[in-house]
Amino acid sequence: MVVKIPKACKNCSAITDEDKCPLCGNETSKDWQGYVIIVDHPRSEIAKK
């Protein structure tokens, strides 16, 4: 069984298993910390960014 390590895009911060970001095409990194879960995205100031 192969376990994929999640990686974060250095540009747009998307989380993926790929070496290149599927959203913007930039390089991803295994060196990142944490998640932010937004429950009510229409009212969230963070989601607007």
**What local confidence, expressed as pLDDT, does residue 11 receive?**
92
pLDDT in tens, the chain (49 residues): 788 899 999 999 899 999 999 999 999 999 988 877 888 888 888 777 7
Burial readout 2-35 (b: 16 or more C-beta within 10 A, e: otherwise): eeeeebbbeeeeeeeeeeebeeeeeebeeeeeee
Distance of CA 33 to the CA centre of its chain: 10
Q: Is the pTM of this model over 0.85?
A: no
**What 3-state class would DSSP assign to 16?**
strand
Strands 7-9 and 28-29: antiparallel
Structure token digits, residue 44:
């969230």
**What local confidence, expressed as pLDDT, does residue 43 receive?**
87
Which domains are delineated in the chain?
1-49 (2.20.28.90)
